[in-house]
Amino acid sequence: MGPVLEVGMRRLIALGLMALLVGCGSPSPDGTQPWSQKILDQGLSLLKPKAPEPAPEPEVFTRASVTEGQTGPVILVSAPKLEAKASLNMIQENGPTRTYISDDGIALLLQNGLLAGSRGFGDDLMSSDHAAAHRAILKGSGQYERVLRYINSQNQLEAVPLTCGLTDHGAETVTILGHKHRVTRRVEICDLAGRQIENTFWISGKTIWKSQQWVSDRVGSLTIEQVR
């Protein structure tokens, strides 16, 4: 699935570029634009389906390997329960929401570093309200409620309410692919229908450099590191 999605993505980016170029021109009265048509043709040739390239899966993640060819933000995500690790690149920023995507079609939606949704796992987090959590993380303490939403087997959204408390665990240093960050560790413990889930945030100023955030029973917790 990965290469297929990637080709689609590349095509869209190319299309965006093409539309940008065409948008600069003005239509002649008869509606034809010889010069812009040429650019269109060039743009379209970019969009022709190409043979899917094998996605090289780096065994070892280095700063160079995960940022190669990327200009935007990059996160490194590991899912211990699924025994998977991947780098995800930001492909879109819409208001506070950043969408990161992996080569094999896994996406995370992060808002200020907090998980607002996941896609592509199956048992995905569809949405989350975490405004109160975000305030508490910045402040270092807080008691609040939040709601996670999931799709159940009957295609319906199910709201899961959480009661959470956040505490500060002092200063630490985290190292993300060779870069050291001086951070404060803040731990959120939430009650989910009688059991506990734990999310941890390593924060410096307003930036969450590293976090462990719970997605769902099947996916477990994700470790998310902000590489760039």
Partner 1 sequence: MKLFWAALSGVLCTAHISFAEPRVTYNAYGMPGLVDMPSAQSAPDAELSFSVSQSGKSLRNTLTFQIAPRLTGAFRYSSIERPTQTLYDRSFDLRYRLLDETQLRPAVAVGLQDFIGTGVYSGEYVAASKTFGPVVATAGIGWGRLGSHNSFDNPLGLISSRFDTRDAGFTGTGGRIESARWFRGPAAFFAGFAWPVTDKVTLKAEYSSDAYTQEVAAGHFEHRSPFNLALDYQIKPTVQLTAYAQHGDEIGILASLTSNPKHSPGGATRDPAPMPVLPRAKAQVAPAGWSEIPSLRSALITALTPVLRQDGIQLIRLSLTDTIAIATVENHRYQSQPQAIGHVARLLSNVLPASVDTIAVVPMVKGIAGSQVIFPRDALETHEATATGASDMRAATIVTDAAAVDHRSAAAEGAFPQFSWSFGPDVSASLFDPDNPVALSLGAKLTAEWVPARGVYVTGTLRQNIVDNYTSTPRYSDSIITHVRSDSTFYDRADGPVLQDLTANYRFRPGTNLYGRFSAGYLERMYGGLSAELLWKPVDSKFGLGFEVSAVRQRSFDGLGFAPLTVTTAGLGAPRSYDTITGHLSGYYAFDDGLHAQVDVGRYLAKDWGMSVQLNREFNNGWKVGAYATLTDISFDDFGEGSFDKGIVMEIPTSWSIGRPSRVNRSVVIRPLLRDGGAKLDLSDRLYDLVRDTHVPQLEAQWGRFWR
| Interface residues toward partner 1, by CB under 8 A | 1, 4-5, 7-9, 11-12, 15-16, 18-20, 22-23, 25-27, 31-33, 36-37, 40, 43-44, 47, 49, 91-95, 97, 99, 101, 105-107, 109, 111, 116-117, 119-124, 126-129, 147, 149-157, 218
Query: CB of 33: closest distance to partner 1 in angstroms?
Result: 7
The DSSP output letter for 129 is -
CA atoms within 13 A on the CB side of 87: 25
Distance between CA atoms of residues 45 and 138, nearest Å: 48
Smaller CB separation from partner 1, 101 or 197: 101
Taking the complex as a whole, the smallest distance from the CB of residue 97 to partner 1 amounts, in Å, to 4
Place of tokens 């990965």: 2
Nearer to partner 1, 92 or 175 (CB): 92
Nearer to partner 1, 16 or 58 (CB): 16
Residue number with CB closer to partner 1 (35 or 56): 35
14, 115, 215 from 221: Cα distances, Å: 35, 11, 6
Closest CB to partner 1 among residues 117, 142:
117
Smallest gap from residue 184 Cβ to partner 1 (A): 26
> Minimum distance from CB of 166 to partner 1 (Å)?
18
Task: Give the Cα separation of 202 and 36 in Å (integer).
Answer: 50
Residue 5 and residue 101: Cα distance in Å, rounded? 10
At its nearest, how many Å lie between partner 1 and the CB of residue 124? 7
Supply the minimum distance, in Å, between the C-beta of residue 94 and partner 1: 5
User: Closer to partner 1 at the Cβ: 7 or 187?
Assistant: 7
Instruction: Give the C-alpha separation, 111 to 98, whole Å.
Output: 6
Residue with tokens 């939606």: 109
DSSP 56-118: ---SS--HHHHHTT--S-EEEEEEGGGTEEEEEEEEEEETTEEEEE-TTS-EEEEETTEEEEE
User: Amino acid identity, residue 148?
Assistant: L
